[in-house]
Amino acid sequence: MKIKHILSTMALVATTAAMAQQVTISPIPQSVAWGDKAYDSAGATYTLQGADQADADAVRALKAKCQVTDGAGAVTIVMGERGDAAVAEYAGEIPEKAEGYLLKVEPGKVVIAGHDGAGTFYGVQSFLQVAAQPQVMSVTVKDWPDIVERGVVEGFYGNNWSQTDRIRQFQFYGANKMNVYIYGPKDDPYHRGRWRENYPTAQAEKMRELARVAKENKVKFVWAVHPGNDIKWNATDEKNVVNKLESMYALGIRSFAVFFDDISGEGTSGIKQAQLMNYVTDNFVRKHDDVDPLIICPTEYNRGWANEKGGYLRTLGSDMDKSVEIMWTGNSVVHTIDKESMEWINERIQRKGYIWLNFPVSDFVRDHILLGPTYGNGLDIAEDLSGFVSNPMEHAESSKIALYSIADYTWNMKNYDYMSSWDKALKDLLPESAEALKIWASYNEDLGPNGHGFRRDESRELQPIAKAAVKGDKNAIAQLYGKCMELELAINLLLADKTNPALIVEQRPWLEYGKLVAQFGMNVCATAMTDLDKASGFVNFDNLYKEARSIQAQMYNLANSDILHPHQPGIKVGSLVLVPALNEIFANTVNAYNAT
């Protein structure tokens, strides 16, 4: 067992060191054809053609990562949008779809041609992934998204993301071809409780900055107002809503939403909500030639809460302007989305639903951090959606594991593979310690029992080992010991990783707790393997038992200490498989000892 574990450890370290060299195009393109080597990336320089007319954000993104020069021997990059002279000869190859692009990499030449500016920007992102390989391979990519709007809604309760968090998120969205961010954090008073008031100057300037950075990364910044708790259905509050949106328009925001979720009382009227959305559409949206159609989060935003007799959803569908997008979380508050559920809602609202996926949000299970794969959504619903956004955790960096897969899923749904996407997400987030992160993440997938009944699988490879170990199989107990030792090693590697400090800061409470879980596991397994008749010396059952109890006390103290984030009720790691198995083995072992 020890030799196998040492070899596993060596493989872990070696694999971790090699991760940075593995680069793939993500999200998976609709069409990609690889050829032979085009050139070496080391020392490569580039000269640009068409950059004076091409999308400015695409040019900026390219220059930020590539050495541009007019010197001899440089690889020529031809870039532009459909209709530009620079890419005119490739017009027939550019996908005729919004945000579509053509990427051609050949020896000495690269072509990046977008159907529109966003397409060129996304073509640049794909090229940068190809060019990051030691050997840049010839390739032809024809690509476009399946879903029109793909991204994130910051709609959770609890600690809002910081300005830095949001800016880093927008850069991440741009690199991964997500194009929408909806601002609706429940604990921003100027979004909800004090919605009639304008932001103070300092906060307003932060909003202006967010709108600018989002635009630079081809992200639609949607600002949402949440008036439903105390709105008065009168002309004064109709104007108050418009005035608030006008104040946000002045900050450079051009996309807006109105939320009526999680309210009661007068604000829940479907008739009044539809009338308000029509008023705002007529008196705000259509008064500006650069404002997108509104989005509404309805009060009955899931099937479990829908009152068919009351006719709320059908009222929105029939009475509200057809340009307004209607958000939907599925069959319940926290649920995956399938074909049948989309057909159910679309028939009632008389338009394609705009999905608000409540994953990986953890505001209802704050003692868990959710790092597992994203799965369960239908692969056949692309034509049924107008948009698909994920509600993440308050932990912005950690949420990127799931959001990377949301980008994969919404771009090319039919080819989405959740385990492959999860692997790529881990490598993208922490390339130097990706294998350690995967081991750690596998113990942080399930949400535990919760009021919404939403659960995830966890520790798939560990399950048969844990099951056999609980039954007293000594070989399985030895394997479980090795898994606990592996977990401790992975945590130590993550704590030592300096490439993404924000990620480690977010996860530190769980990492520190996870080390204690791993140590408890090794102790329990060692105790279970002790021959009660022959144990002697210092390493005997009594001392192992005392150590186990000591570790349990440390776990309790840590889970109730000031290491916790605000509003966090405790810490859970490995709560579905590992910890229950260890507790049962420990109890069985103590019972056997007492019987002896």
Is the separation of the CB atoms in 354 and 391 below 8 Å? no
* Strands 255-259 vs 220-225: parallel, antiparallel or unpaired: parallel
Nearest Cα residue to 466 out of 458, 488, 10, 545: 458
Distance CA 553, CA 561 (A): 12
CB 113 within 8 A of CB 102: yes
**Residue 453 token pair:** 């009944």
By annotation, the residues acting in catalysis are 262
Q: Which residues contact 210 (CB under 8 A, 6 or more apart)?
A: 163, 166, 167, 170, 183, 221
Burial readout 375-405 (b: 16 or more C-beta within 10 A, e: otherwise)? bebeeebbebbbbbbbbbbbbbbbbbbbbbb
Strand partners, 343: none
Q: Starting from the edge strand earliest in sequence, which strands make up the sheet with 75-81, in order?
A: 31-40, 135-143, 101-106, 109-114, 75-81, 46-49
- Residue among 91, 101, 103, 123 at smallest CA distance from 38: 103
| Dihedral (Cα; 61, 44, 137, 404), 10-degree rounding | -30
3-state class (DSSP) for residue 411: helix
Whether omega before 95 lies within 30 degrees of 0, making that bond cis, reads no
Omega of the bond leading into 392 within 30 degrees of 0 (cis): no
User: Tokens 């041609």 label which residue?
Assistant: 113
DSSP SS3 for 313: helix
Greatest Cα pair distance in the chain: 88
DSSP one-letter string for 89-140? GGGGGS-SSTT-EEEEEETTEEEEEESSHHHHHHHHHHHHHHHTSSEEEEEE
Distance of alpha carbon 226 from alpha carbon 258, whole angstroms: 6
How many C-beta atoms lie closer than 10 Å to residue 249's C-beta? 19
Tokens of 6: 């040492």
State yes or no: cis peptide before 509, omega within 30 of 0. no
Identity at 317, one-letter amino acid code: G
Specify the residue for token string 């809002």. Answer: 160
Q: How far apart are CA 348 and CA 301, in angstroms?
A: 12
CA separation for the pair 360, 447 (Å, rounded): 10
Structure-block tokens of residue 376 = 């369960």
Identify residue 36 by its one-letter amino acid code: D
CA angle 345–346–348, rounded 5-degree value: 65
Scan for tokens 């709320």, then name that residue: 312
How far is 346 from 384, CA to CA, in rounded Å?
8
Closest C-alpha among 526, 496, 500 to residue 511 = 496
What residues have CB less than 8 Å from 471, skipping those under 6 apart? none
